[in-house]
Structures are given as C-alpha cells and as structure tokens.
Amino acid sequence: MQIRLWIGVAAALMMSPMVASATDTLDGKALYAANCASCHGVSGEVSALGKSLKPYPARNHRAIADLIGRDEMRRIITYGVAKTAMTPKKYALDALEIEAVIDYIKTFEYKPNIANGKKRFGAVCVSCHGNDGRAQTGMGAKNLVYSKLNLEEIVHTMRYGRPGTLMTSKRHQLTNEDIADIANYVYNLRYMSNAANGKKLFSNKCSTCHSSPRAIKLIGNAATNRVMSDLDDRLLDLRIRHGRHVDRAGKEITHLSSDEIQDIMAYMRKNTK
C-alpha cells in the first residue's frame, strides 16, 4: 500500500505537471507590474525612481533579457544584490511566482546598437584588448577575435570580471544597454575560421611531412581525437608555431598569419574527430 503511494508520488514528480501548469496560470506580467515596475519600469526600462536610486540605479531588463541565464536571474531575484535597493524578493514572491516573473522578463526584446557598442568598446576596452580586439597590447588580455565564448558568456565576463586578473567587473561602469551593445559588437569581431581554406593550406605547407592531421605526432602520440581535444587552440597554435618541426619546416611555418593558423587548426580538428 505504502509502496504504491510512493510510486505514485515519484511518478507525479517525474512528470511534474503541477509545476508547468501552475506557472502557466500565474500572471508574470501582473506580478512584475506589482513588484518590480516601480523601479524597473512597466516594460523593463528603468523608471525615474529606479534611475535615482543610490548607490546604484535599477537596471534595464529589456537589454539583458536574452543575455542573462535563468539561473542567474533566479539567484538575483531570490536573494537580491547586497548593499543596493535590489532587496531579496523571496519574502514577497514564492518560487513559482519568481519563475513566472522570469518568464515575463524573457519576453522582452532588444535590438542591439552596434555603433554604440563600438564607441563604448573604444572608450572602455581597447586599452587592454586593442582597437581590433586582438589584445596585442601587452596587458595579458584575451584575444576576443579568437574567443570561443558565446554572447551570454561574454556578458557574464563583463558583468563579473575574472577575479585575480586585470579583467575587473564592468557592471557599475556600464549600463545594461551598453553591455548588450558591446557584447554584440565584440561577438561580431569574431574570426570565423575557414576549414576549407585550412585544408588547402595544409596540403601546401604541411603535407610534405604530415600526410594528414591524424599522422602528426604530438609528443609521441598520434594526433588522435583525444590528444587533440586535450589541447585548446592557444596551445595547439603554440605547437604549430614553436613545435619541434620549426627547425625543419622553417619559413613555411613562421610565415603563416594568425588567421591562417586558425584555419589550419579548424581543418585539423575536423580531420581528427
């Protein structure tokens, strides 16, 4: 009898139709209007009161609705942001109501202004990341053109920085509109490596010694899937530029541009999968 009951409960939890339907029936828009709009504005664009708050103003939800994950939103809404007017909302809203509010925020749309992103990037980021985003500035910043981060991860890095590095949090230096615009600008700087060009380069510059990427020996191992996937692009680039073959292959290697090496790596990765 008891076992049967537990199976019933477990099955209900697994399907969890309760959660889904409860969220559906909650009105996220109305909850937002009642609990958030006084500071964040009815449509997610900060109210006059929100703008005047100290020490930090309320923030635009429209600009970051797509760029901040649910988990982070849930954490901020539930626990608030210490020492700001964003107090914990877990006393005003229950867990399902918070999900409904997040669902509503997630309906907000924003069209990034790339020209503004470029301008703000010029003002705030180029001292370390360089005008072209390739970080040839001697500041130890990352090359944003070869970065693999997605938009959400770029935004996360800008909002929180990387502890222990020169990449500090920019959240209180930039509005959310600026963050969204810069993130999209940075994402558009991305070099899209071209594996087909890499294949051509490989056959011109490498195939006299390496019949295929698979045949390359990486410190005693063939460049198999596993060995290759242990190397990130930066390390593989270093091996190509400074590996044991440079003595022999010489100019063939040293004359390759960084972008050409990106293409070759894209081809190598494809070929060793």
> Is residue 189 near ligand HEC by the rule CB under 6 A?
no
Q: Which stretch binds ligand HEC (CB under 6 A): 3-11, 16-24, 84-92, 107-115?
A: 84-92
CB nearer to ligand HEC: give 4 or 255: 255
Structure tokens at 151: 């938009």
> Is residue 33 near ligand HEC by the rule CB under 6 A?
no
Of 9, 15, 139, 235, the one binding ligand HEC (CB under 6 A) is 139
> Is residue 170 near ligand HEC by the rule CB under 6 A?
yes
Residues in contact with 175: Cβ distance below 8 Å, sequence separation at least 6, in sequence order: 59, 60, 63
Write each residue from 217 to 246 as x if it is in contact with ligand HEC (CB under 6 A), else as -, in one continuous string: xxx-------------------xx--xxx-
> Is residue 89 near ligand HEC by the rule CB under 6 A?
yes
Please state the length of the chain.
273
Residues in contact with 173: Cβ distance below 8 Å, sequence separation at least 6, in sequence order: 124
User: Sign of the CA dihedral 217, 221, 226, 230?
Assistant: negative
Q: Determine the Cα–Cα distance for residues 198 and 262; give it in Å rounded to an integer.
A: 8
CA distances for 199 relative to 173, 210, 216, angstroms: 44, 13, 15
* Residue ranges binding ligand HEC (CB under 6 A): 35-36, 38-40, 53, 56-59, 64, 73, 76-77, 81, 84-86, 89, 101, 124-125, 127-129, 139-142, 144, 147, 149, 154, 157-158, 162, 165-167, 170, 176, 182, 186, 205-206, 208-210, 216-219, 239-240, 243-245, 248-249, 252-253, 264
